Chains A and B, each alone.
Chain A
Amino acid sequence: MTQHFRLTAVVAGLAAFAAWPAAAQKAGGDIVITMVQAPPSLDAHVSSAQVARNVNLHIFETLYARDETAKPVPDLATGVEVSADGLTYVFTLRQGVKFHNGKALTSEDVVASLERFRKVGASATLLAAVDTIAADGPGKVVVKLKSVQSTFLGNLSSPRSPIAIMPAEEAAKPGGQARPIGTGPFKFVDYKPDSHVKLEKFADYVPNPAYKERDGFAGAKIVHVNSVTFRFVPEAGARTAALESGESHFNETADGPTAKRLAGNAAFQIVKVLPFALQVVKFNHAQAPGANADFRRAVALALDPDEIMAIAYPDIYKLDHAWVYPGSPFHRDRGAWKRDATAAKAALAKSGYKGEKLTFIVDSFRPNVDVATVMQQQLQAIGVAIDIKVADWPTVSKIGFTDEGWNFWTHGFGIEPFEGPASVISPWVKGTSQRKADPRIDAMFDRINSEMKPEEQQKIFDSFQDLMRDEAVALNLGDYGLFQIASAKLKNFKPYRIPRMWGVWLE
């Protein structure tokens, strides 16, 4: 049944994708997308939430953006000149770019936007290496770094909380108060909390002439539809109902059984966004027994990730234990998971663990609860007793970033493996995620940030992954994906980190 479902979905998807380019593009229409929740803010700088990206990256653009393979490429810039010492970056701006308020983009807007992000950006550390930002005439921006940073263009193009370019007068406003005025292919129309955000095609948008078609968050963003409405529908059944009744064209997150049920229906396309995130299991190193590497190794040796992922993400997971996604230039095969119950028991005995009950915190996202539940069963076999505590995300994330109240915590790492090695290492620097600093990790982060040669960066990243595996600093159980379902009327859709509504049309 599973194989049949996979085959049907893949064949249907391939057939549909193959047919689209040949089909005539049709202009007009309003695409309705259903999303789980509303963006916390339409001020692109202040939120790094996925739902905010889904909307904001249609409105705003960045100097550099990630392409289809997550490589930084020019977007609002035409390119960059880097000085020989690697400290000065001179960006040349694309000509003829307009903001949604009709104003032409100038270097003053770029300077004001970057300066604002340094102050209020949700991921302001992305620009931590920047010393000064200055305009050089209306079409050039000069950024000077304090020290060489190999990841600077990667940071600048990060979609995490996008370093969006906005008009200087909006950039002068405090965090959370800038109006959604960008240079993107869609223009903000209205936002009704608990209901929808509506965007319309920006009539004065000129697709980047350097590209022929869409390319990640960059490329030629050609808009065929009149408008896009993002509707917030938290209830999964209601999102599916909206799609099936024709009221929406795209369900941003569907569950496996629904995708399976609709896979054979010609009215829908099942889209698999795999990988979307990797499943991380964190240990609290500030508390016993998580502080002990033997204990952590015992846990790793006792687990069967295949069983865990198959239960948590049926039909949409891949056992890949690299800390970046396949397709990334830094991706290497990390081999199969080593499972050995005898070795696990021996390591557990060495760790000094006495059978005390340990707390596994997990948010109410069902697959995360499944991961915790299966782990609880598998660890029981070697004598580790776990008490699972489920709460909503704000509660769990509050506890998980403190030293007490938890021993295990599992959730997805979505954007970090997409961004690359430095982003993956970053959460472990100064012990932020594991609650106890590891000087070796901190040193690796500093080295990879200043190392300009990709082959040397690869070596550092390999050492980091070895350390994560050998000392089980945290566990990477594998990649999981998202099921998205589109109406067959939506043509030329290509899955990516966000559902991009440029390059698509309605039939």
Chain B
Amino acid sequence: MLGFALRRAAASIPVLLLVSLITFGLLWLVPGDPASVFLDASATPEAIERIRRELGLDKPFPARMADWYWRLLHGDLGRSLLLDRGVTEAILERLPVTLSLAALAFALATALGVAAGALAAIRHGRAADRSLMTLALLGLSIPEFWLGLVLIWTLAVGSGLFPAGGYVPFTESPWRWARHVTLPAFTLACVQMGFIARMTRSAMLETLGQDYVRTARAKGLPESRVLTRHALGNALVPIVTVMGIMVGALLGNAVVTEQVFAIPGVGRLIIGAVLSRDFPVIQGGLLFLALVYLAVNLVVDILYAAVDPRVRLE
């Protein structure tokens, strides 16, 4: 198992290298620089040049790239041009925010999605199946920014049950943290919930038709055990794969949710950096997200191998 994990981890290095190259190349192609964020519309060219010089943007592209890789080799993602702190520090101070949001969304999507999918499969063809699958389709189809705004208007502005935005760390007040992340986490989870529910349903339907399920029933096992141990247990392999993809999607979609709910997370950090051309933050942030994505995929591969031992042989 260790060899398998190491092989997979080593395969991630070229991917990270490619991500860093693409990010750097794209930023080179995109016009505009942070000087325009510091200055107003009638700034003189001298003022723009001075800001560019101060930010180190006057250096040629290869020099900047060499500088970036050299620092990267030393574990340094550079310094933000606008935030008055290192990129690693900027990411790390926002990471708990995004992770707590994504974790809650993951828990919601998994718990509700698997339950809904399993129930729909068990009640296959009946009203419960149709209703749950309609809801799942709805969840898949609603754009996150729209759902977020609707939830804000109904449950925050309308009824005052939740705050309209912002974030309170868990360490400061668990209760206020829960109130602040519930709506964004539900918004974030909605699409994935629908996805998981549909996936679980089809995987369950497939396993419910397998010989080993018929055998389990024939030997007199209680139906609950047949469904959980034999049907759902075996349906988990594709669901675990989907969950891996889901973690990546949750981190990616958090960008929109964090923007709508004004949550200071990694997604909003990167969006802000893109809009203000804070190059080190864009490069570091994207590389970091790629790293998280690869790490999650590695964990999924390991879990996959644990659930289905045949994977290790391939």
Give the residue of B37, B156, B276 whose beta carbon is less than 8 angstroms from that of A241.
Answer: B156
Contacts of B277 in A (CB 8 A): 394
**A231 interface residue per 8 A CB criterion:** yes
If A122-B51, A247-B164 touch, does A238 touch B262 (CB 8 Å cutoff)? Answer: yes
Contact with B along A177-199 (1 / 0, CB 8 A): 10000000000000011110000
**B233 interface residue per 8 A CB criterion:** no
Interface residues of A in 202-245 (CB under 8 A from B): 231-235, 237-238, 241-242, 244-245
Q: Are B163 and A124 in contact (CB under 8 A)?
A: no
Interface residues of B in 12-65 (CB under 8 A from A): 30-34, 36-48, 50-51, 54
B275: nearest chain-A partner, CB-CB = A392
Q: Are B259 and A416 in contact (CB under 8 A)?
A: no
**B157 interface residue per 8 A CB criterion:** yes
Q: How many residues of B contact A (CB 8 A)?
A: 50
Interface residues of A in 388-409 (CB under 8 A from B): 391-399, 401
Chain-B contact segment, one of A20-28, A44-52, A130-138: A44-52
**A449 interface residue per 8 A CB criterion:** no
**Bound Cα distance A194, B54 (Å):** 23
Q: Are A432 and B45 in contact (CB under 8 A)?
A: yes
Give the residue of B36, B41, B90, B275 whose beta carbon is less than 8 angstroms from that of A193.
Answer: B90
Q: Are A235 and B44 in contact (CB under 8 A)?
A: no
A395: nearest chain-B partner, CB-CB = B32
**Bound Cα distance A124, B163 (Å):** 43
Q: Are A49 and B164 in contact (CB under 8 A)?
A: no
**B165 interface residue per 8 A CB criterion:** yes
**B309 interface residue per 8 A CB criterion:** no
Q: Are B41 and A245 in contact (CB under 8 A)?
A: no
Q: Are B54 and A50 in contact (CB under 8 A)?
A: no
Q: Are B164 and A48 in contact (CB under 8 A)?
A: no
Q: Are B32 and A392 in contact (CB under 8 A)?
A: yes
Give the residue of A48, A395, A426 whose beta carbon is less than 8 angstroms from that of B39.
Answer: A48
**B272 interface residue per 8 A CB criterion:** yes
Q: Are A416 and B42 in contact (CB under 8 A)?
A: yes
Contacts of A433 in B (CB 8 A): 42
Give the residue of B36, B45, B47, B156 whose beta carbon is less than 8 angstroms from that of A124.
Answer: B47
**Bound Cα distance A234, B264 (Å):** 11
Contacts of B31 in A (CB 8 A): 391, 394-395, 398-399
Contacts of B43 in A (CB 8 A): 48, 122-123
B32: nearest chain-A partner, CB-CB = A394
- A423 nearest CB across to chain B (Å): 8
Contact with A along B157-199 (1 / 0, CB 8 A): 1001001111100000000000000000000000000000000
Contacts of A233 in B (CB 8 A): 165, 262
Give the residue of A176, A241, A414, A427 whose beta carbon is less than 8 angstroms from that of B164.
Answer: A241
Contacts of A37 in B (CB 8 A): 272
For chain A, the bracket of interface size reads: 35 or more
If A231-B166, A238-B260, A247-B166 touch, does A122 touch B47 (CB 8 Å cutoff)? Answer: yes
- B137 nearest CB across to chain A (Å): 26
Q: Are B40 and A160 in contact (CB under 8 A)?
A: yes
**A415 interface residue per 8 A CB criterion:** yes
Q: Are A120 and B54 in contact (CB under 8 A)?
A: yes
**B149 interface residue per 8 A CB criterion:** yes
A232: nearest chain-B partner, CB-CB = B262
Q: Are A238 and B38 in contact (CB under 8 A)?
A: no
**Bound Cα distance A233, B165 (Å):** 9
Contacts of B120 in A (CB 8 A): none
Contact with A along B76-90 (1 / 0, CB 8 A): 000000111100001
If A238-B164, A241-B156 touch, does A194 touch B39 (CB 8 Å cutoff)? Answer: no
Contacts of A242 in B (CB 8 A): 164-166, 262
Contacts of A48 in B (CB 8 A): 38-40, 43, 47
If A125-B46, A175-B54, A432-B44 touch, does A395 touch B30 (CB 8 Å cutoff)? Answer: yes
If A40-B82, A241-B152, A247-B165 touch, does A398 touch B38 (CB 8 Å cutoff)? Answer: no
If A122-B43, A245-B164 touch, does A46 touch B259 (CB 8 Å cutoff)? Answer: no
Q: Are B166 and A40 in contact (CB under 8 A)?
A: no
Q: Are A195 and B167 in contact (CB under 8 A)?
A: yes
Interface residues of A in 120-160 (CB under 8 A from B): 120, 122-125, 160
Q: Are A426 and B33 in contact (CB under 8 A)?
A: no
B162: nearest chain-A partner, CB-CB = A245
If A247-B163, A427-B42 touch, does A193 touch B83 (CB 8 Å cutoff)? Answer: yes
Q: Are B36 and A238 in contact (CB under 8 A)?
A: no
Q: Are A195 and B32 in contact (CB under 8 A)?
A: no
B42: nearest chain-A partner, CB-CB = A427
- Chain B CB count within 10 A is highest, among A49, A175, A194, for A194
Q: Are B33 and A238 in contact (CB under 8 A)?
A: no
**A41 interface residue per 8 A CB criterion:** yes
Contacts of B83 in A (CB 8 A): 193
If A235-B260, A247-B164 touch, does A194 touch B32 (CB 8 Å cutoff)? Answer: no
- B260 nearest CB across to chain A (Å): 5
**B8 interface residue per 8 A CB criterion:** no
**B212 interface residue per 8 A CB criterion:** no
If A241-B156, A397-B36 touch, does A193 touch B260 (CB 8 Å cutoff)? Answer: no
Contacts of A394 in B (CB 8 A): 31-34, 36-37, 275-277
Contact with B along A71-102 (1 / 0, CB 8 A): 00000000000000000000000000000000
**Bound Cα distance A394, B83 (Å):** 17
**Bound Cα distance A231, B152 (Å):** 17
**B230 interface residue per 8 A CB criterion:** no
Q: Are B262 and A231 in contact (CB under 8 A)?
A: yes
**B269 interface residue per 8 A CB criterion:** yes
**Bound Cα distance A192, B172 (Å):** 15
A50: nearest chain-B partner, CB-CB = B40
- A239 nearest CB across to chain B (Å): 8
Q: Are A241 and B167 in contact (CB under 8 A)?
A: no
Apart from A40-B37, A195-B264, A233-B165: 14 A-B pairs, beta carbons within 8 A: A47-B39, A122-B51, A123-B43, A124-B50, A174-B54, A177-B84, A193-B272, A241-B165, A242-B166, A394-B275, A395-B30, A401-B45, A426-B42, A427-B42
- Per CB-CB distance, the 10 closest pairs between chain A and chain B, nearest first, are A394-B32, A427-B42, A194-B264, A241-B164, A195-B264, A395-B32, A397-B36, A233-B262, A245-B164, A398-B32
